[in-house]
Amino acid sequence: MFTGIIQAIGHLQHSQPRSGDVRLTVHTGELPLAGVALGDSIAVNGVCLTAVALTGAGFSADVSRETLALTTLGSLSIGNRVNLEPALTLATPLGGHLVSGHVDGVGTVRERHADARSWRLRIEAPAELARYIAPKGSICVDGTSLTVNQVDGAAFELNIVPHTAAHTIIGAYQVGTRVNLEVDLIARYLERLLLGEQAAVSAMPSALTREFLQQHGFK
Note the pLDDT of residue 108: 98
208 pLDDT exceeds 70? no
Q: What is the pTM of this model?
A: 0.88
Note the pLDDT of residue 196: 84
pLDDT in tens, 129-152: 999 999 999 999 999 999 999 999
Which domains does the chain possess? Answer: 8-86 (2.40.30.20), 105-183 (2.40.30.20), 187-219 (no CATH)
**Of the given ranges (96-110, 130-144, 175-189, 205-219), which has the lowest mean pLDDT?**
205-219
188 pLDDT exceeds 90? no
CB 116 within 8 A of CB 104: no
Note the pLDDT of residue 203: 57
Note the pLDDT of residue 169: 98
Summarize the confidence of residues 106-117 as an average pLDDT.
Answer: 97
48/95 Cα distance (integer angstroms):
18
217 pLDDT exceeds 70? no
